[in-house]
Amino acid sequence: MLADAENTDPDQIVHFDQHALDWWDRQGPLKALHDINPVRLQYIQRRSGISGKSILDVGCGGGLLSESLALTGGQVMGIDMSATALQAAQEHADAIGVDITYRQMTAEILSAETPGAFDMITCMELLEHVPHPDSVLNACQMLLKPGGHVFLATVNRTWTAYALVILAAEYLLKIVRQGTHAYRNFIRPAELAQWALAAGLKVRNLSGVLYNPFNGQARLTALTKMNYLMHLQKP
């Protein structure tokens, strides 16, 4: 068992528990996640393919990405530590008839149960909410089959990100619930790449996600000053 098996922030879990009724409201406080979800899915599809792969969605929340992956042909398990988020995910999956397995646990605990079980792991907008992001990467490496892929999404620690992700999205436009992000927990790409290397994962790609909270439009870009995606692979 890894030292950081309980790699969670109780305050963050309480915060996301409050989103029970919000996860599938496309105009609610999680609107930004709905807006960027197609970009994330496109990035994954282009870089590794999805259909027929066993996929773990770490920090799945209410299942937005999990469902997209399943509907694209993936065999998906989603894990999260928010019971209310998982309930919302399961209820929505049942309502539309999508077969997804949801479990309340951390990646560290699952890695001790089923090492080498997955072709692909996605971990989107989680790393900036846990005490030890490097522990999550270590767990992902253990959970992957040889040659497996990891797709990460997080927020860069820049003043641009602070202005748009916190000031604009949380306080001005209110498309993200206030208190969702803390600037000190944002992660620079070089830091994330260093943790990946230490975990035994190779960086295959780094791409920025340009999101305009004023019009809800998102696209991939070479600029990584705000949100970004990173593609890793296990040798």
| Single pTM value for the model | 0.90
Mean per-residue pLDDT for 171-196? 84
Per-residue pLDDT of 84-122, as tens digits, reads 999 999 999 999 999 999 999 999 999 999 999 999 999
CATH label, 10-233, candidates 3.40.50.1360, 1.10.110.30, 3.40.50.150, 3.40.1050.10: 3.40.50.150
Per-residue pLDDT of 39-64, as tens digits, reads 999 999 999 999 999 999 999 999 99
Q: Is the Cβ–Cβ distance between 194 and 130 less than 8 Å?
A: no
8-34 burial, b at 16+ Cβ within 10 Å, e below that, comes to beeebbebbeebeebbbeeeebbbbbb
- Range of 19-23, 96-100, 222-226 with top mean pLDDT: 96-100
Q: How confident is the model at residue 3 (pLDDT cuts 50, 70, 90)?
A: very low
Where along the chain do its domains lie?
10-233
